[in-house]
Copies of this chain bind each other. A is one copy, B any other.
Amino acid sequence: MDTDRPALAVDIGGTKLAAGVIEPGGRVVTWEQTPTRRDLDGEQLWRTLDALISRALESAEISRPQSLAGVGCGCGGPMEWPSGVVSPLNIPAWRAFPLRGRLEERFAGLPVRVHNDAICLAAAEHWRGAGQDCSNMLGVVVSTGVGGGLILDGRLIAGASGNAGHIGHVIVEPDTGPRCACGGRGCLEAIARGPAVAAWAQAQGWRPGQPDVSARDLAADAARGDPVGRAALARAGRALGLAITSATLLCDLELIVVGGGLAQAGPLLFDSLHEAVRQYARLPFARGVRVVPAGLGQSAGLVGAAALILQGEQYWSGD
């Protein structure tokens, strides 16, 4: 890997597409973004991304792809890994879309690497965020879903199919918990994903101020003292704390970094999370585990995607 050259980074989510140029040291030189339009078909969406990439390269004054070390891309799951054939839950237009292949055609001769967006966030936090100088950490993203990425013994772990770190289906309430979309019951995600938190609050009598119910509104109401909102976030925080404790004990982790929209709720979520960790993570080796909010802001997705290229030895084990 030629670390004198920057990487092109691409971040594909259900809300926005982003592309940027990242220096070998991890600094974002420039970036562009555009909404992920729901009215486009798969090819139209690809052309939108293609144009966005061109704009990002132009604004970084990169005219020759050979000036780049490679292309790193984070995308919502699920995907076949490492082939990068993606079917993002929140982008119905792409089903079995050969994202890595398309990027490889677009950037012939350059390394192109695609990974799950939650895994890219974990890589970013480890490389340039809250997890620097830590060899064993889990990055958790709490948003529409609950995902994550796992760094152990200083490397990003892929697992059998590139899904290691996916904490969302750790079981926290096996008998009495809600059904999960995966087919199981009592998974972390079924309790702590944003829409589930909002739905639980509604079932308990919370009435959102607008028809488009969101966990963000719930968090705002909770911050103003709404007791159901506070209970809903505390319940999600406890579930996160239980799953994080199990992960800490199983993987001997030092640090958990929690990001994603719901993490913005701050102490309303983190107080009960920390309390559950204190209560359950009691073995000496686990007692010192730290749980902190993500340190990088908006740029984390791009920085993590770039890490797949710029720090491939640590963060990429695919072909």
Contacts and interface: CB of A to CB of B under 8 A. Distances in A.
A109 interface: no
A195 B147 CA distance: 36
A165 interface: yes
Contacts of A286: 169
Interface string A139-172: 0000000000010110101111111111111111
Contact of A173 (B135, B174, B284): B174
A171 B246 contact: yes
Given A182-B282, A184-B280, A282-B183, A252 B169 contact: no
Given A164-B251, A252-B158, A246 B279 contact: no
Contacts of A155: 153
Contact of A252 (B162, B182, B282): B162
Given A160-B254, A166-B249, A153 B317 contact: yes
B78 A251 contact: no
B160 A280 contact: no
A158 to B, nearest CB: 6
Contacts of A246: 169-171, 243, 246, 250
B184 A279 contact: yes
Contact of A171 (B157, B242, B283): B242
Interface of A: 78, 135-136, 150, 152-153, 155, 157-174, 180, 182-185, 242-243, 245-247, 249-254, 279-286, 317
Given A152-B159, A174-B280, 4 more contacts: A136-B164, A153-B157, A157-B252, A185-B280
Given A152-B164, A252-B166, A283 B182 contact: yes
A238 to B, nearest CB: 9
Nearest to A165: B250
Nearest to A137: B160
A190 to B, nearest CB: 11
A170 B285 contact: no
6 contacts: A136-B159, A160-B285, A170-B246, A171-B245, A243-B246, A250-B250
A182 B246 CA distance: 13
B172 A160 contact: no
A248 B286 CA distance: 20
Contacts of A136: 159-160, 164
Contacts of A152: 152, 157, 159, 164
Nearest to A279: B184
A245 B166 CA distance: 12
Nearest to A152: B157
A306 to B, nearest CB: 21
B174 A172 contact: yes
Contacts of A279: 184-185
A252 B159 contact: yes
A137 to B, nearest CB: 9
A167 B169 CA distance: 16
